[in-house]
Amino acid sequence: MGVSLNDPSPMSPMERLYDITFRDPPEPQEATPIPLVRVQADEQADIDISGDAFDFVRSIRVYHIQYRQHENRDGECNRSDSTRLGSYGVQGDYRWTRSNVGQVPTASDLRIPNGCGSYFYRSVFVDWRDHAGNYGAEEVRY
């Protein structure tokens, strides 16, 4: 048909970023104060949750797992276990206590090798039982 399209060459990622940044600069806005929300100071539920219906809250356990092992130059095995357990009390008060990797549920991906191979594991593992007694767990490595 005698027509051609001269498509401009594609921009590099840096050129695209520059174009997006300066194409339509944002207009300054007036700062509006963010409303403050009152936070409980006593760190417990504001209603009575001591009944059996709230057992699911007390079933929540949070494991902060920090474990490391390696063999030093002298052939000695160095192990470090800073695992902590977070749990809820009768009225929803939350507390951390010392724990260890031996108390971490098997649902965790934590797998300490036999012997003293070099191993590092750090995660937050949460497990619970819902209102029907079903087990659930989630883990995030970081």
What would the pLDDT profile of 26-37 be if each residue is shown by its tens digit? Answer: 666 666 677 766
Give the chain's residues under pLDDT 50: 1
Q: Which residues touch 136 (CB under 8 Å, ≥6 apart)?
A: 127, 128, 129, 130
Are the CB atoms for 101 and 81 separated by under 8 Å? yes
Quick one: pLDDT at residue 2? 52
Q: Where are the domains of the chain?
A: 52-141
Quick one: pLDDT at residue 38? 61
Quick one: pLDDT at residue 16? 77
Quick one: pLDDT at residue 60? 96
Tokens matching residue 124:
């937050």
Report yes or no on whether pTM surpasses 0.85.
Answer: no
Phi and psi at residue 20, to the nearest 5°:
-65, -40
Quick one: pLDDT at residue 99? 97
Quick one: pLDDT at residue 1? 47
E-strand spans in the chain? 61-71, 77-81, 84-88, 94-98, 119-129, 135-141
Are the CB atoms for 95 and 113 separated by under 8 Å? no
